[in-house]
Amino acid sequence: MQPLDALRTEYGISPYEVTRQWAALNEPKVPPKIKSAAHYVGICRRLNPALSKEAGVDGRLLAVGFNHFTPTDWVGGEFAAFLSFWTETQPKPNTVGSTWNALPETVFAIWRASPSVQRAMKMVPPNKWYMFVRDDKILRRNVRRSVPIARALKRASAQHVILTAHAARALGTLPPELQAYALMGQVVVTRTRTIDWERVAKMRDDLQTEHGPRLRLAIAAAGFNWSSQLPRHIREEMDRLGVGKFGKSREEALAAFLCPAYPNTTVERAARLALGDTPVQLSMGILTKKEAHEWLRDGWQDPLSWLVAKLAMPGVPRLRSVSIVRWLHEVQRRGAWAQLTKARTVHGPGGVVAEVRYIDRIDEIQDEDLVRWAKTLVEEAFAHAAERLGAAWQERMFHDHTPLAQPPKWKLYQNSMRVLNTPAELAAEGRDLQHCVGGYEYAVRSGQSVILGINVRGNRSTAELTPEGQVRQHRGLQNRDPHPWCQAVLDRFQKRNQIGGAP
Average pLDDT of the chain, as a whole number = 88
DSSP reduced 3-state for 118: helix
Nearest to 304 by CA among 320, 288, 323: 320
Please, what's the b/e burial string for 467-492 (b: 16 or more CB within 10 A of its CB; e: otherwise)?
eebebbbbbbbeeeebbebbbebbee
pLDDT band at 95; cut points 50, 70, 90: very high
Per residue in 441-458, pLDDT (tens digit) is: 888 998 889 999 999 999
Q: Number of helices and strands (H, E) in the chain?
A: 26, 8
Q: Is 200's pLDDT higher than 80?
A: yes
Residues 348-364, mean pLDDT to the nearest whole number: 73
β-pairing verdict for 353-356 and 417-419: unpaired
Q: Is 349's pLDDT higher than 60?
A: no
Q: How far apart are CA 437 and CA 428, in angstroms?
A: 9
Residues 502, 478: contact at Cβ < 8 Å? no
CA atoms within 13 A on the CB side of 243: 23
Q: Which of 126-140, 212-226, 477-491 has the lowest mean pLDDT?
A: 212-226
Query: Which of 33-47, 186-200, 376-390 reaches the highest mean pLDDT?
Result: 33-47
Residues 229-251, mean pLDDT to the nearest whole number: 78
Q: Is the Cα torsion angle 65, 67, 69, 71 positive or negative in sign?
A: positive
pLDDT band at 176; cut points 50, 70, 90: very high
Q: Bigger pLDDT: 71 or 352?
A: 71
Percent of the chain topping pLDDT 90 = 56
Nearest to 174 by CA among 198, 150, 204, 138: 204
Residues 128-148, mean pLDDT to the nearest whole number: 94
Residues 163, 151: contact at Cβ < 8 Å? no
Concatenated DSSP letters for 194-246? GS-HHHHHHHHHHTTSTTHHHHHHHHHHHTS-TTSPPPHHHHHHHHHHTTTSS
Residue 413 has what pLDDT?
93
Q: Is 64's pLDDT higher than 90?
A: yes
Q: Please give the distance of CA 372 from its chain centroid, rounded to a whole number.
A: 31
Q: How far apart are CA 317 and CA 335, in angstroms?
A: 20
Residue 183 has what pLDDT?
93
Q: How far apart are CA 267 and CA 221, in angstroms?
A: 7
Q: How far apart are CA 473 and CA 466, in angstroms?
A: 10
Nearest to 87 by CA among 72, 104, 67, 75: 104
Residues 230, 251: contact at Cβ < 8 Å? yes
Q: Is 106's pLDDT higher than 90?
A: yes
Residues 141-159, mean pLDDT to the nearest whole number: 92
Element containing residue 397 per DSSP (H, E): helix 378-397
Opening angle at CA 475, ends 470 and 480, nearest 5? 145
Q: Is 411's pLDDT higher than 70?
A: yes
CA atoms within 13 A on the CB side of 272: 17
pTM, full prediction: 0.62
pLDDT band at 1; cut points 50, 70, 90: low
Residues 76, 35: contact at Cβ < 8 Å? no
Residues 174-201, mean pLDDT to the nearest whole number: 90
Query: Which of 72-86, 152-166, 219-233, 380-394 reaches the highest mean pLDDT?
Result: 72-86
Q: Is 265's pLDDT higher than 80?
A: yes
Q: How far apart are CA 296 and CA 282, in angstroms?
A: 9
Burial classification of residue 334, based on how many CB atoms lie within 10 Å of its CB (0-12 exposed, 13-18 middle, 19 or more buried): exposed
Kindly report the length of the chain: 503
